[in-house]
Amino acid sequence: MEQTNPLRPDGESKGGVLAHLERLETQMSKSCKQSEEPQSVQAQEGALGTKIHKLRRLRDELRAAVRHRQASVKASIANVEPTLAVEMSEQEVLEEKLENVKAVLQAYRFTGLSGKLTSRGVCVCISTAFEGTLLDSYFVDLVIQKPLQIHHHSVPVFIPLEEIAAKYLQTNIQHFLFSLCEYLNAYSGRKYQADRLQSDFAALLTGPLQRNPLCNLLSFTYKLDPGGQSFPFCARLLYKDLTATLPTDVTVTYQGVEPLSTSWEEQRASHETLFCTKPLHQVFASFARKGEKLDMSLVS
């Protein structure tokens, strides 16, 4: 029954107050019993007076005890709850802050550059995209020491990482990462265009698409009218600028024996311009649309 309570430092147990009161009561009842013995009226009256007196004292003590109890309960609740409330809300505030920070960290991938601190330094994640389509991500794990080192990375081997690092890594990490971003985004974009050509417009290609891993040299033959009689055009696209997604040199040649008619020659020249100014798969999309228009005109 005895419990040590950390909230009540005086350690007063339940037994204490009541036991005292019980003793008082036993005293009372003893004196009551004693007073029940036949006595003279005067003596009885006197005894009654004392009894009342004692009963009153007992009642007052009990009242005080009850009040004391109530007060201490209230006090201990008051002691406990505010601190608890303060601690709980501090935790809540921390948790909310933590959630917000985590969310914002997630959002950084939309800037194209995000990362995590590591025990050695930082692991930077470069996201790539081409005209709204989100593409592959690459990471570079940097070790913070003098000199700054690349611990490991997922950059393809044909991207000139060492060159870029040699130029900027030691002097300006930001410049290094932005430059790498440029190369990787351009590579991703070129690769995306070539992939789309192969997957979506295979019908217009008369042979396999030839490409190098860096996707900056493409060679393919195509026909505007797949079923038609004309000879196919042969296109060669060279992207000298590795930070660009459009080719720098385009040659479209005709693979026939006879010279081209004027209209075909015009087409050939316009194709060269198209390949230089629009993304590859979009050029082919326009070819496909023209093809449909042609069909429509045949029908009508």
Partner 1 sequence: MDTELAEVRALQAEIAALRRACEDQPAPWEEKSGVQKSFQAIQQFSSEGWKSSKDLKSQLGHLESELSFLSTLTGINIRNYSKQTEDLTGTEMTEKSIRKVLQRHRLSGNCHMVTFQLEFQILEIQNKERLSSAVTDLNIIMEPTECSELSEFVSRAEERKDLFMFFRSLHFFVEWFEYRKRTFEHFKEKYPEAVHLSEGPSSPSMVIRSASQPGFELVIVWRIQIDEDGKVFPKLDLLTKVPQRALELDKNRAIETAPLSFRTLLGVLGIEAALESLIKSLCAEQNG
Residues 191-230 interacting with partner 1 (rule: CB under 8 A): none
Site for partner 1 in 120-139 (CB under 8 A): 122, 124, 127-129, 131-134
Site for partner 1 in 29-68 (CB under 8 A): 44-45, 48-49, 51-52, 55-56, 58-59, 62-63, 65-66
State in angstroms the smallest separation of the CB of 198 from partner 1: 13
Q: Which residues contact 24 (CB under 8 A, 6 or more apart)?
A: 57, 58, 61
* Among 110-118, 147-155, 209-217, 221-229, the segment contacting partner 1 (CB under 8 A): 110-118
Residue 7 touching partner 1 (CB under 8 A): yes
**Which residue spans within the chain are E strands per DSSP?**
113-117, 121-130, 133-143, 149-153, 210-211, 217-222, 233-238, 249-254
State in angstroms the smallest separation of the CB of 207 from partner 1: 23
Residue 278 touching partner 1 (CB under 8 A): no
Total residues at the site for partner 1 (CB under 8 A)?
Answer: 76
Q: Which residues contact 178 (CB under 8 A, 6 or more apart)?
A: 113
Neighbouring CB atoms inside 10 A of 234's CB total: 16
Kind and range of the H or E element at 195? helix 173-200
Neighbouring CB atoms inside 10 A of 252's CB total: 19
* Among 6-14, 160-168, 200-208, 290-298, the segment contacting partner 1 (CB under 8 A): 6-14
Residue from 23, 30, 102, 152 in contact with partner 1 (CB under 8 A): 102
Neighbouring CB atoms inside 10 A of 10's CB total: 8
* Among 10-18, 147-155, 212-220, 258-266, the segment contacting partner 1 (CB under 8 A): 10-18
Separation between Cα atoms, residue 122 and residue 151, nearest integer Å: 10
